[in-house]
């Protein structure tokens, strides 16, 4: 189906939710990096670090984006997009935190992606039936 003004609002909600979840995963990795760094140094508590507070700020922005996304699209479409945060967080932790990625991690992410795609395909197929009438 063509993009109409009615369903273009849903696309805005999807984009906001994906960006919000991306910010959340970045923030979680920043906070973990700060925890690891502070424990290795044996210095002040983690909450005295500016980098940790930057992670908290990014998490707040990401959650605010998720909250805003619910205004543009239904919860049945936005909630499954939370898997974006899990997948991006796994990739970021492997690249920047030098964590290992196990086979079970890859399998779990594949299941998340499959179920996420099923929800989107089913939603837009049902939605196109109503728009076409």
3-state secondary structure the chain: CCCCHHHHHHHHHHHHHHHHHHHHHHHHHHHHHHHHHHHHHCCCCHHHCHHHHHHHHHHHHHHHHHHHHCCCCCHHHHHHHHHHHHHHHHHHHHHHCCCCCCHHHHHHHHHHHHHHHHHHHHHHHHHHHHHCC
- Count up the domains in the chain and report the number: 1
Quote the pTM value: 0.74
List pLDDT tens digits, range 24-75.
999 999 999 999 888 888 878 888 889 999 999 999 999 999 999 999 988 8
List the domain range (segments joined by +) for residue 10. 5-131
């Amino acid at each position: 189906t063509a993009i109409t003004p009615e369903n273009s609002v849903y696309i805005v909600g999807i984009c906001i939710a994906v960006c919000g979840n991306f910010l959340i995963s970045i923030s979680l990795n920043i906070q973990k990096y700060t925890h690891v760094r502070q424990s290795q140094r044996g210095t002040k508590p983690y909450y005295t670090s500016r980098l940790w507070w930057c992670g908290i700020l990014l998490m707040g922005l990401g959650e605010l984006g998720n909250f805003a996304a619910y205004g543009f699209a239904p919860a049945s479409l936005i909630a499954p997009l939370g898997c974006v945060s899990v997948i991006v967080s796994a990739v970021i932790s492997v690249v920047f935190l030098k964590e290992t990625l196990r086979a079970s991690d890859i399998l779990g992410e594949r299941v998340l992606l499959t179920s996420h795609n099923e929800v989107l395909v089913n939603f837009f197929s049902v939605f196109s039936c109503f728009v076409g009438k």
